[in-house]
Chain A
Amino acid sequence: MAEKAMEMTLKTGYYGRQRGARLLIHLIVIGVALLMLFPFWLIISVSFTDNLDLARNGYQLIPKQISFAAYDYLFRVPQQLIKAYGVTIFVTFFGTSIGILTMSMLGYGMTRLVGKTRRVAVLFVLFPVLFSGGLIPFYLVMTQMYKLKDTITALVFPYLVSPFYVLLLRSYFAQLPQEIIEAAKMDGASEFRTFFQIIIPLSTPVLATIGLFTALGYWNDYWLALLFIAKSPYKPLQLLLFNMLNNVEVLTRTPEAAAQTAGILPPVEPLRMAMAVVAAGPGVIFSLALGRYFVRGITLGAISK
């Protein structure tokens, strides 16, 4: 009887006797969800609006006159966009793979230490979470000591190891059964071998989650490029996007653009929004497909810490 009641509870939601109330909740939540989608809809719509229509009627949710001119123009001068995609893919791939390896080796090593050494190691990783040198010293160290200005290394290196993620990984590794590690040691496996052949396969869920967050961080990062990339060819997507936001002529006033779009006037505002759609769209769709892993990651980081 109790079980049946429980089942009913689970099926209907505990308070779910009144259909009207639930319908109202659905309507409120749908309203919020539409608000979340609204800005995306707006820029997609503007990117498909005819330039004259835009000039006459302003930004609208449904264009009076649909036009593909912006995309047509954009795909005539795709060089910068392709290059930026290349840089972002490179940075995300190498940053995530090297980073996750380095962080998990450090996090696992910390669980193997004992006594005072362990306490020192934890403090060493924790302190940067709480205190940072700040922008200007960071910039000077990166450019003057390491000479990384205008290099692609400057876009990868600084985010390889996040002290916060190292601490998360450490607490995950610490709760793995220690007997397995002891058994591997008895069989003569080295620390490295234990780590790669036993610990890594046992930790794929947490490694995947932290890997996803790291990859998203690299993909959406504008900060390192804003600081270190002034005139090099290593302009990632987000920096190109920012330059376009600031000044749409970044795309229309290049020699290639002049050659390939002779006589075509750029539809400036739709072009800017088309650029945003093409630059951000694939990343958003990809992340959406992995949405539930991110949802899991939040609870990992904030509750089970």
Chain B
Amino acid sequence: MEIARAQSGRAVSQISPFVRYMRRNLPIFALMALGVIHIVMIQYMPMFGMVIAFKNYRFADGIFGSPWVGFDNFRFLFGSKIAFQITFNTVYMNFLFIVTGTISALTLAILLNEIYHHKLTQVYQVTLFLPFFVGAVILGYFSLALFRSDGFINTILKSLNMQPILFYMEPKYWRYILVGANLWSSIGFGTVLYLSGIIGINPEYYEAAEIDGANKLQQIFYVMIPMIRYLIVIQLLLAVGKIFTANFGLFYFVPQIYNNGQLLPVADVIDTFVFRAFRGGMSGQIVNLGMAAAAGFYQSVVGFILIVSANFLVKKISPENALF
């Protein structure tokens, strides 16, 4: 009896806290294992691969065998005018998207709220949402159908006896076209989001305002918008946090820059630049894969700083809406 207790006592003391901890949590870790392995393989391994931005990449030597070149790739990237062009295009276009997208989605949400209980409103919402269901590649088909030399817009111009426009040769139209394409494809998302915020407002607030003599517009500006301003501010901050990342599909398929260099001055963003350089490198063209890797590295780091700062601000305004 004594011996048994002594033995078991020794057994307990011999098990290290780590083993005890593992034993208790093992079933949980087993449950999580597949997902954790996946995240390591797909998310974390490429982060280590980012060292190639500091290397002169050679296929034969692989990521870790290629020679180090320090900051040469970055010097090369920022020494060319391409770095400014792609950064400007990315940030400026995203800025235009945020402004136009927020204003239009808010306006539509306010309008839909006025007729929310009409049975057609459900149909409107799903229609606005339609672009969400089609892939980005289809946007390329829409672009072609509208802007080809014999496309729909030129058919209209012709019927008005006006000169046709060769859209794919003229960069000056494309900032507007891209803003339009972005609005078309994202407005449903924003509208549904803001509408769900507006619906949640207690109608008594409007009643109180009305008793105080507020007209409809005043009720919108002094009751409704202040009530959902958290939602707006948070969406804006998160969008600013992502301002360094472009919607690749929109910029690649709509101006068709995969086979057309004419529009690069306005439509080439960081994501498309990296992809085009990579694609060129794959098909044996003489391009600097290192420069593309440096651009990718620069985008990831600046993007990270922006999103962390945006989240910091969101947390100050409304902690429960922070990303982390």
Contacts and interface: CB of A to CB of B under 8 A. Distances in A.
Whether chains A and B associate is yes
Interface of A: 6, 9-16, 21-22, 25-26, 28-30, 32-33, 35-37, 39-40, 42-43, 46, 54-55, 57-61, 102-103, 105-110, 112-113, 117, 121-122, 124-141, 144-146, 157-158, 160-161, 163, 166, 190-192, 195, 216, 219-223, 238, 241-242, 245-246, 272-273, 276, 280, 283-284, 287-288, 291-292, 294-295, 298-299, 302-303, 305
B216 interface: yes
A125 B128 contact: no
Interface stretch (B6-14, B75-83, B92-100, B189-197): B189-197
Contacts of A61: 152
A10 B138 CA distance: 40
Interface string B255-290: 010110000000000010011001000000000010
Contacts of A55: 150
29 contacts: A10-B117, A16-B114, A32-B187, A42-B142, A42-B152, A59-B150, A59-B155, A102-B35, A107-B35, A113-B28, A130-B323, A131-B303, A131-B304, A133-B300, A134-B50, A136-B274, A136-B293, A137-B49, A161-B39, A191-B27, A220-B133, A241-B137, A245-B141, A272-B141, A276-B141, A280-B135, A283-B134, A292-B126, A303-B196
Contacts of A22: 114-115, 118
B193 to A, nearest CB: 6
B39 A284 contact: no
B39 A223 contact: no
A131 B292 contact: no
Given A58-B155, A59-B150, A43 B31 contact: no
B211 to A, nearest CB: 12
B84 interface: no
Given A36-B131, A42-B145, A59-B150, A133 B49 contact: yes
B38 A160 contact: yes
Contacts of A303: 193, 196-197, 231
A106 B35 contact: yes
Contacts of B117: 10-13
A59 B117 CA distance: 39
Given A136-B289, A195-B31, A25 B45 contact: no
Query: For the side of the interface on B, what is the size category?
Result: 35 or more
B62 interface: yes
A223 B249 CA distance: 9
Contacts of A42: 142, 145-146, 152
Interface of B: 25, 27-32, 34-36, 38-39, 41-50, 52, 62-63, 108, 111-118, 120, 122-138, 140-142, 144-146, 148, 150-152, 154-155, 158, 184, 187-189, 192-193, 196-197, 203, 206, 216, 219, 231, 235, 248-249, 253, 256, 258-259, 271, 274-275, 278, 289, 292-293, 296-297, 299-300, 303-304, 307-308, 321, 323-324
A126 to B, nearest CB: 5
A303 B195 CA distance: 12
A288 B133 contact: yes
B interface majority secondary structure: helix
A138 B49 contact: yes
A61 B151 CA distance: 11
B39 A125 contact: yes
Most B CB within 10 A of own CB, among A112, A144, A245: A245
Given A42-B152, A280-B135, A246 B258 contact: yes
B168 to A, nearest CB: 13
B41 A146 contact: yes
B135 A220 contact: yes
Contacts of A59: 145-146, 148, 150-152, 155
Contact of B192 (A10, A29, A241, A295): A295
A241 B32 contact: no
Given A10-B117, A136-B52, A137-B296, A280 B253 contact: no
A13 B138 contact: no
Nearest to B292: A136
A22 B112 CA distance: 10
B115 A26 contact: yes
Given A130-B323, A163-B43, A305-B321, 12 more contacts: A25-B111, A26-B118, A33-B127, A33-B128, A109-B29, A134-B297, A135-B271, A136-B278, A241-B138, A245-B137, A245-B141, A284-B133
Question: Most B CB atoms within 10 A — which of A36, A126, A221, A305?
Answer: A36
Nearest to A166: B35
Nearest to A284: B133
A33 B124 contact: yes
A134 B52 CA distance: 11
A13 to B, nearest CB: 6
Contacts of A195: 31
A299 B145 contact: no
Nearest to B138: A280
A190 B27 contact: yes
B38 A102 contact: yes
The 10 closest A-B pairs by CB, nearest first: A133-B46, A106-B35, A137-B49, A134-B296, A220-B135, A109-B32, A128-B43, A287-B133, A58-B155, A191-B27
Nearest to B149: A58
Contacts of B259: 246
B49 A223 contact: no
B124 A245 contact: no
